[in-house]
Amino acid sequence: ELKVEQNPLFLSMQEGKNYTIYCNYSTTSDRLYWYRQDPGKSLESLFVLLSNGAVKQEGRLMASLDTKARLSTLHITAAVHDLSATYFCAVDMDQAGTALIFGKGTTLSVSS
Amino acid sequence: ETGVTQTPRHLVMGMTNKKSLKCEQHLGHNAMYWYKQSAKKPLELMFVYNFKEQTENNSVPSRFSPECPNSSHLFLHLHTLQPEDSALYLCAASPGGYDYGYTFGSGTRLTVV
């Protein structure tokens, strides 16, 4: 059974600080996805990582994938309040793109 | 129009009621999904449809019954639900394959009383 674990589950940050969210998964997969969810809203796709060593950046967020370690990271640089949300990572259930299995999510709160 | 539209946004139903959730996608994608999001659990995959055919039923109780009449519409029929079924039900669509993320709808917040 594929398991996807994120940590931390809750993160309180000060504006301007840096931090990393970790996503570990239990089976071999070359693809990993990051999503953002604002309170009361749906999930928004942030990054699609499709190979070992993939790195993608958008604004203050940077995601990377190490398939050998079965680990993805989401790095936050110089956090701002607008980044407050819940972040989910997800992995292909069977590497055929059939369906994604999600982690529990990391709820990020950025305060001044 | 948004990519994936879900109706209703909120639904309160009794345990003996029958109701349906609707999902419509305007993206021309081949795959559609139902996920359940509860307060203390990760998003749980419920059903997967590819080209209108159900390809995954993730051990979902029979009180949840999906229907996919065409590649643009997906329904979730509900009957004799339990209070623990109260959750946010999310529909998603994707082109299929693995190169793309999913596009999610806004969800239906279901409360079973």
| 3-state SS, one letter per residue, for B95-112 | CCCCCCCCEECCCEEEEE
- Predicted pLDDT of residue B42: 81
Contact A48 B101 (CB under 8 A): yes
pLDDT tens digits, residue range B49-93?
Answer: 987 788 777 789 999 999 999 989 999 999 999 999 999 999 999
- Predicted pLDDT of residue A97: 54
- Which residues of chain B approach chain A closer than 8 Å at the C-beta? 33, 35, 41-43, 45, 48, 50, 55-56, 90, 92, 94, 96-107
Computed over every residue of chain B, the mean pLDDT equals 90
Residues 51-110 of chain A with CB under 8 A from chain B are 88, 90, 92-93, 95-105
Q: What does the alpha-carbon distance between residue A78 and residue B54 come to, in Å, rounded to a whole number? A: 44
Percent of chain A at pLDDT exceeding 70: 95
Percent of chain B at pLDDT exceeding 90: 69
The single residue listed with the structure tokens 């990572």 is A89
- Predicted pLDDT of residue B97: 65
Contact A98, A41 (CB under 8 A): no
Q: Can you tell me the mean pLDDT for B40-46?
A: 85
Residue A69 token pair: 């370690």
Chain B interface disruption, residue of A29, A31, A34, A43, most B CBs within 10 A: A43
Contact B102 A45 (CB under 8 A): yes
Nearest-Cα residue of chain B relative to residue A3? B42
Computed over every residue of chain A, the mean pLDDT equals 91
pLDDT tens digits, residue range A47-100?
Answer: 999 888 899 999 999 999 999 999 999 999 999 999 999 999 999 876 555 678
Q: Can you tell me the mean pLDDT for A25-43?
A: 89
- Predicted pLDDT of residue B2: 66
- Predicted pLDDT of residue A94: 64
- Predicted pLDDT of residue B33: 93
Chain B closest-CA separation from residue A14 CA (Å)? 26
Nearest-Cα residue of chain B relative to residue A100? B45
- Predicted pLDDT of residue A96: 54
Q: Would you call A2 an interface residue with chain B, using a CB distance cutoff of 8 Å?
A: no
- Predicted pLDDT of residue A49: 92
- Predicted pLDDT of residue A30: 76
- Predicted pLDDT of residue B61: 93
